[in-house]
Amino acid sequence: MDRLHLDYRIVKADTGIMGGLLSEEFQAITPLGEDILVLCDSCEFSSNIEVAACVPQKPAEAETELEMELVETPDSRTIEEVVETLNKPVNKFVKTLIYNVDGKAVAVMVRGDREVNETKLRKLFNATEVELADVTMVKEATGAEIGFAGPVGIHCTLVADEEVTYMQNFVVGANKTGYHYTNVNQKDFKIDIVADVRNIMEGDTCPCCGGKIEFKHGIEVGNTFKLGTKYSKAMGLQYLDSNNQLQDVWMGSYGIGPARAMAALCEQNVDENGINWPKEIAPYQVAIVIISMKDEQQVLKANEIYEALKAKGIDVILDDRDERPGVKFKDMELIGIPFRITVGKGIKDGNVEWKARTNDKEDVSIEEIVEKALDALK
Ligand SMILES: [Zn+2]
């Protein structure tokens, strides 16, 4: 990735169906990326959102715990609607979502402005399938329509995000269609499991250093998996060690997506003239453009330089099309050749023009041009 000159981050990732001990993704930073990368503004912390650990936000000071109160909220099902009806800040609400975890109902509580992280939930239960429960399952667990679930008197396993355990006098669904409870506290219900089951958010506290979390988008251009002995054990892949003992083979998996890496490089290196490929992977390293194809001397010199560069192992293209110089310059920039040698009238004085894509042109003597190219490509 360094040699490709990609702007990338190595982020911790879910091992997914591949399994194993640890997975890391190589993510190229670009606003067009489909993955959300969780980064810290103060340290090197980086993670895929699926596995980013959360630090609970604790209230500044403790409140006096009030008595729970049943309130009518007839048309309020979504958190936005309940917030509006009851006119309290969203962080005084707790959402309770009913999940179908391998066929069993599980209620998950997170603060009103948080989202449940289904990957963390799946890991918590070591489950295969995690999805939001359907109407029937919700009714069985809560006794109410969707939108009124809450922890008080619920008939299924109750998971609370760690942050919820620091909250006081909050609002929850009442497990009764058209009603919520206000001023709810932990004494009013029984949590089965407390765990980190939410998505980290921008502005949250970094789990490593206490800095601020920020998000960037990325394209996954590579990944690594520490597989341990998961597959070798399953398939009986062993070797004899120096003591003649059979041992399981330790495995790793390392992948690069060449097409994705190309796409990410284009995104990161495009300028107004086309693709600015890093010289290591440009289709050609040097282009030689002949100004006038009618000038035999120009054609001859250009061909000599072309052969000389090739002899030094430089990847070079000779543009000897019968086109106007402007067209040739544009085309070479468009396809992203990093260096250009222009052979024109200057050869009378023994000079050609050298131009790096991102620098101004300069005159270089024909004798020195091969050295110049070799230097630039070092
Ligand atoms: Zn940090």
In angstroms, the CA 34 to CA 261 distance is 14
CA of 46 to the centre of ligand 1 (A): 8
CA of 217 to the centre of ligand 1 (A): 18
Angle, in degrees to the nearest 10, between helices 369-377 and 296-311: 40
CA of 311 to the centre of ligand 1 (A): 51
DSSP 134-170: -HHHHHHHHSS-TT---STT-SSEEEEEGGGGG--SE
Please tell me what DSSP assigns to residue 343: E
pLDDT at 107: 98
CA of 42 to the centre of ligand 1 (A): 5
CA of 57 to the centre of ligand 1 (A): 16
**pLDDT 10s digits, 262-316:** 999 999 998 888 888 988 889 999 999 999 999 999 999 999 999 999 999 999 9
**pLDDT 10s digits, 171-225:** 999 999 999 999 999 999 999 999 999 999 999 999 999 999 999 999 999 999 9
What is residue 94's three-state secondary structure? Answer: strand
In angstroms, the CA 318 to CA 306 distance is 7
* Confidence band of 60 (pLDDT split at 50, 70, 90): confident
Predicted TM-score (pTM) of the model is 0.71
Amino acid identity for residue 345 in this structure? K
DSSP 307-322: HHHHHTT--EEEE--S
Hey, how many other C-beta atoms are within 10 angstroms of the C-beta on 218?
27
